[in-house]
Structure 1
């Protein structure tokens, strides 16, 4: 039997470049895989980039005609190909 999906928000495939600022790692340019009302999944294939559950980051979508807002997020999920981030104000 498949595990029950406990996600609160519907995910939508969304590929965009994002700037991710982390206290230890500095500023990183990464890509998203999907987005929801609650957060975003960032793709990380470089084994040297390691985030821990509970880490706080600042994320800003890049490449828009006007600067996107900077959102504070928390690492809530870790997988082989990246991290799930949740908006810290949601």
Structure 2
């Protein structure tokens, strides 16, 4: 049905800075909107992000020293931001 939630994981509002590294676009920082067991949604202009299917690395900034660097796949691009799926967990 249209408008029904399709995701299997509960999303929790969560705001932090995340450093993204892409082989083509280089390194840039975005802000998260929410997080789930399977991924994170970040606020970003779609044209500033690699396309769906791309793999980037992501690291939370400013919350802990030496945060892990995670591989993430771009799984959704929307006007308000980009959905990333955790690949390492």
Superposition TM-score, scaled by structure 1 size: 0.89
Distance 2:17 2:7 in 1: 24
Distance 2:17 2:37 in 1: 18
Q: 1:1-90 maps to which residues of 2 (within 5 A)?
A: 2-45=2-45, 48-90=47-89
Distance 1:8 1:50 in 2: 24
* Structure 1 position 48, deviation (Å): 4.8
For structure 2, the 5+ residue unaligned runs are none
Distance 2:59 2:33 in 1: 15
State the SS of the aligned residue for 2:56. Answer: strand
Count of aligned pairs? 89
* Structure 1 position 82, deviation (Å): 1.0
Q: Deviations over 1:13-72 (max 9, x none)?
A: 001001000111101111000000100011113x65132010100000000242111110
Q: CA RMSD in A?
A: 1.6
